[in-house]
């Protein structure tokens, strides 16, 4: 599946308009539309990161790459597998902890 299809699927699953996504990440509605249609071929890594953060997915999932193929740190992969085995409500607790740590680090 292409980046364009993933973006469109994530946006519609979240029931967001193009404008809502654009406003949330600081991009234009037209640019988000171009990404979803596949006509914008090389989005910046910063834009990809913002989209992944907004949709709460990894960059690798957003762009269709498997973390195992990238040689990611083995400890991170083990952590991922551990988190994957948890109940969804327990995963949400970890998500909230990480969001809090990111806010604290950014000074927000």
The single-letter DSSP state of residue 69 is G
SS3 43: coil
The single-letter DSSP state of residue 67 is G
* Helical spans, DSSP H, in the chain: 3-13, 18-25, 29-37, 45-55, 59-63, 74-85, 88-106
Q: What Å distances lie between residue 1 and 16, 62, 78, CA to CA?
A: 20, 10, 26
Model pTM greater than 0.85?
no
The pLDDT of residue 73: 64
**Mean pLDDT of the region 11-38:** 95
Q: How confident is the model at residue 74 (pLDDT cuts 50, 70, 90)?
A: low
pLDDT digits (tens, 9 = 90+) for 37-57: 999 878 999 999 999 999 988
Pick 3-65's CATH classification: 3.20.20.150, 3.30.1360.70, 3.40.720.10, 1.10.260.40.
1.10.260.40
pLDDT digits (tens, 9 = 90+) for 7-16: 999 999 999 9
Q: What are the start-end ranges of the E strands in 1-108?
A: none
The pLDDT of residue 44: 92
């Amino acid at each position: 599946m292409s980046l364009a299809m993933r973006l469109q699927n994530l946006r519609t699953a979240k029931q967001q308009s193009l404008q809502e996504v654009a406003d949330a990440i600081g991009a234009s509605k037209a640019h988000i539309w171009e990404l979803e249609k596949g006509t914008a071929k090389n989005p910046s890594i910063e834009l990809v990161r913002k989209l992944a953060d907004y949709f709460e997915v990894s960059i690798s999932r957003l762009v269709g790459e498997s973390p195992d193929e990238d040689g990611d740190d083995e400890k991170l992969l083990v952590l991922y597998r551990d988190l994957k085995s948890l109940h969804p409500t327990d995963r949400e607790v970890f998500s909230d902890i990480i969001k809090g740590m990111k806010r604290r680090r950014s000074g927000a």
